[in-house]
Structure formats: structure tokens, C-alpha cells
Chains A and B, each alone.
Chain A
Amino acid sequence: MTVSQFLVLGALLFSIGIYGVLVRRNAVLVLLSVELMLAAVNINMVVFGADIGDLLLAGQVFALFVITVAAAEVGIGLAIIVLIFRNRSSANVDELDLMRW
């Protein structure tokens, strides 16, 4: 197994996540795409950790932390989306443009 193959896969997943973030109109789906990007990052972390043969297992530890923070972020993000939905009865991000000119 080469390092590159894992990293290329991670890059691919990341790019697909970007596409999703930019394209989806529902806020929840945008958050979903962000999760995809974070998963790609996790792959990169672990591969790097395995590549350098780290005794301290820094890559894996990093991946753990990313998972944890992602969980926390999803919790908060969904709370916010729920709030917005309550106020506007819509989760469409195109309608969230109050900060416009």
C-alpha cells in the first residue's frame, strides 16, 4: 500500500464534500457535507500517523479529537438550524441573506 493512494482518496472525498457544501440548499444537508469533509481529514491524519511510524500515535490521537469536535459541532449546528427553522419556518440557506448589502 502506498501513502499516495490513501491521500488521493482523502482528497477526493474532501472535494466531493466541498461540492456538497456549495451546492445543497438545505442547511442540514450542508452540515452533512461538512461531515464528509471531516471524514476525509481523518483518513489523512491516520495515514500520516502510520507513515511516520509514530510511537506517540499522534495521527490517531488527532483523528480521535477530530471526531469528538465534529460531534460537538454537529450538536451545536443542528441546534442553530432548529432555531432558525422556528423563526422562519424554513431551513433553506438561500433565505438566510440578512447580511447582504
Chain B
Amino acid sequence: MNWGDWVSDANNIVFLVLALVMVAAAVRVVTSPNVIHAALMLVVALAGSAGLFLMLGAEFVAWTLVLVYIGAVVVLFLFGIMITRAPTGRDPVRLDHARRWPAAVVALGTFVTIATVTVMYFEDAPVEGAVSRSADLGEVLFDRYVIPFEAVSFVLLAALIGGIVLARKDPER
């Protein structure tokens, strides 16, 4: 399909806006010299992806992402930055490596490969943004995917305990 047809769909305009915001935010995440700015840009990128989910009808996933990712993980990141005394604000010490072009090449290569393959395979296949009910998701989660669900809860438990054990101060002898 050509550009005109694509743009005529209102969904695609929303998509385009969201995409641009997300990409810009992502680029700022990886290039910002300010650590706090990088973390906050991540918030923007994640928020954008939540919007995409909404477009695709995955409401529950979208709001979980906002809750967990933006609410908890990024806050955790900020705590981590504080504890490790990462240089907040502008800092004379560079945050990036001196030679950045090998990484750029690898990233570019990856993008080209994946994008080409994808477009070659999927072409103009449309996707419906059918809204899925949370109740259905809940049902299937505890019915069909109960074992992975329990396993993941164990992962969380392990992470919890592990985090505490790793980060605590050495016990007094």
C-alpha cells in the first residue's frame, strides 16, 4: 500500500506520532549525557509503548506496563543511580565510550536485518486492534498458563530474596 492510503487511516497517524516520540525518547536514553535524563526518557519510551498496546487492544498489558515498569522499575533505577553515585547532572567525565562506531555498526546491522526480514515476510498484512477483555486474560492466565504463572512468582520470590541477600551489609562476625 502506498503512503496516501496508509495515512488515510486515523490509527496510523496516531501510530506515527507515538512512534516518533518513542524513537526520539529511546535515542535520548542511549545518548543523553545526563543520567537522570536517560532514566526519564525511558519513562517516555515505555509510556509510548503502553499507548501502542492500547491501540492493539491489549489494555491489561498496557496498564500493567505503566504500573510495573514505569512505576516500580524506573523508580528502582533512580534509587540505583543515587546509591552508586552516578554522576548526576552535567559531568565532565564522559558517559560513553570513546569509540562508538563499532556499536553503531552492530546496531544498524541488526536493525537492517530484522527490518528487511520482517517486511519481506509480512508485507502488507493487516492487524486488527480487537480489544481483548481483561477477564478473558485472567481466565486464560489461571487456566492455561497457570504453571508459568506460578514459576514466574517463584522467580520474583527468588529475586526478592536474592536482592536482599546480595545488597545487605555483611553481617557482624
Do A and B touch, yes or no (CB under 8 Å, in the complex)? yes
A96 / chain B contacts, CB cutoff of 8 Å: none
Complex CA distance for A13 and B110, rounded to whole angstroms: 11
Helix, strand, loop or mixed for chain B's interface? helix
Closest-CB distance, B112 to chain A (whole angstroms)? 9
Partner pick for B80 among A7, A23, A71, A81, CB 8 A cutoff: A81
- Check B49–A5 contact: CB distance below 8 A: no
Question: CB distance B127 to A1 under 8 Å?
Answer: yes
Q: In the complex the two chains form, what is the Cα distance from A62 to B166 in whole Å?
A: 29
> 5 A-B residue contacts at CB 8 Å?
A1-B127, A50-B127, A51-B125, A71-B69, A82-B84
- A48 and B85 CA atoms in complex are apart in Å by 41
Which range contains the number of A residues in contact with the other chain?
35 or more
Bound-complex Cα distance A42 to B79 (A): 25
Which residues in window 89-117 of B have CB below 8 A to A? 94-97, 100, 102-104, 106-108, 110-111, 114-115
Q: Please tell me if the beta carbons of A8 and B119 are within 8 angstroms of each other in the complex.
A: yes
Q: Are A85 and B83 in contact (CB under 8 A)?
A: yes
Mask, A45-75, CB within 8 Å of B = 1, is: 0110111010011011101110111111111
Contact B166 A33 (CB under 8 A): no
Which one of B38, B80, B127 contacts A82 once the chains associate, using CB atoms below 8 Å?
Answer: B80
Tell me which of B1, B107, B148 has the highest count of chain A C-beta atoms within 10 A of its own C-beta: B107
Additional A-B contacts beyond A15-B111, A67-B61 (4; CB < 8 A)? A2-B6, A5-B12, A14-B114, A82-B83
Give the residues from 115 to 148 in chain B that come closer than 8 angstroms, CB to CB, to chain A: 115, 118-119, 122-130, 132, 136-137, 140-141, 144-145, 148
- The interface of chain B, by Cβ under 8 A from chain A, is 1, 6, 9, 11-12, 15, 19, 22-23, 26-27, 29-30, 35, 38-39, 42, 45-46, 49, 52-53, 55-58, 60-61, 64-65, 68-69, 72-73, 76-77, 79-81, 83-86, 94-97, 100, 102-104, 106-108, 110-111, 114-115, 118-119, 122-130, 132, 136-137, 140-141, 144-145, 148, 152, 155-156, 158-160, 162-163, 166-167
User: For the complex, what is the distance from the CA of A3 to the CA of B15, rounded to whole Å?
Assistant: 12
Secondary structure call for the A interface: helix
Also in contact, A57 and B136, with CB within 8 A (given A28-B86, A50-B130): yes
Complex-state Cα separation, A57 to B22, whole angstroms: 25
| Contact B106–A22 (Cβ < 8 Å) | yes
Instruction: Report yes or no: A29 in contact with B137, Cβ–Cβ below 8 A.
Output: no
Interface centre among B23, B111, B125, B160 (most CB of A within 10 A): B111
Known A-B contacts A16-B27, A22-B102, A23-B100; the reply to A6 vs B68 at CB < 8 A is no
